[in-house]
Copies of this chain bind each other. A is one copy, B any other.
Amino acid sequence: MSTQAADLTVAVQDYLKAIYALESAGERVTTSALAARMGVSAPSATAMTKRLAELGLVERAPYRGVSLTENGQLGALEVLRHHRLLERYLVDRLGLSLDQVHVEADRLEHALSEELEAKIDVELGFPTHDPHGDPIPDRELRVAEGGRRTLCDFEVGDRAIVSRVPDVDPELLRYLSELGLVPGSEVDLVSFAPFGGPVTVQTKAGDHAISRDLAGRISASST
């Protein structure tokens, strides 16, 4: 194995995760974007990107931003695997709710040994997705490509199955849970208001209108 995430500090692991998330969202990883995501000042982010570059985990272009190297990506994926396996476990085996589980896993992910990771993986039957619908990298850190279709890409009258919801904001997750908009649930597309207006969906919890923006952040597939 080229990188052992084990000997990366907690801070380094957290930055890798943040950079990976920004890259996955297709955004340029600027100092300010990284600083905002980490809840840290811009100079702190600059300092850390320098460190990451020295460790060979990112490619750094001053004033331009960073991008993960092969090793950096592996490190991020290892942390992500820990995080998502733990989320799956905490929900399935300990009954944590969708909105609590992210912050809990954020702390535990750094304390998980490879042995325990493996036991959890077996115990859960090698799950492929976490409770928010995000793919869990497998033991070789390959990550399944998710369908890019969102609720916005359906038509009125279509029936869809929610496959993925945003994972960070607990408030939002509680709201979505109330609406029955969680991975696995069925949704009927009722209407799209004009001029980018709200999308109305029917779930087993009834009819609900959500912003087009939010609808665009909820992935789904056809039944």
Contacts and interface: CB of A to CB of B under 8 A. Distances in A.
Nearest to A110: B111
B119 A113 contact: no
B123 A94 contact: yes
A123 B107 CA distance: 21
Contacts of A119: 94-96
Interface in A98-136: 100, 104, 107-108, 110-113, 115-116, 119-120, 123
Interface string A58-93: 000000000000000000000000000000001001
A102 to B, nearest CB: 12
B96 A116 contact: yes
Query: Is chain A's binding surface mostly helix, strand, loop or mixed?
Result: helix
Contacts of A123: 94
A113 B120 contact: no
Nearest to A109: B111
A115 B100 contact: yes
A82 to B, nearest CB: 11
Contacts of A96: 116, 119
A90 B124 CA distance: 15
A95 B113 CA distance: 14
A104 B100 CA distance: 23
A156 to B, nearest CB: 41
Nearest to A86: B111
Contacts of A110: 111
A152 B83 CA distance: 47
Contacts of A116: 90, 94, 96, 104
Contacts of A111: 107-108, 110-111
Interface of A: 90, 93-96, 100, 104, 107-108, 110-113, 115-116, 119-120, 123
Given A94-B116, A100-B115, 6 more contacts: A90-B116, A94-B119, A95-B119, A104-B115, A104-B116, A111-B111
21 contacts: A90-B116, A93-B93, A94-B116, A94-B119, A94-B120, A94-B123, A95-B119, A96-B116, A96-B119, A100-B115, A104-B113, A104-B115, A104-B116, A107-B111, A107-B112, A107-B113, A108-B108, A108-B111, A108-B112, A110-B111, A111-B111
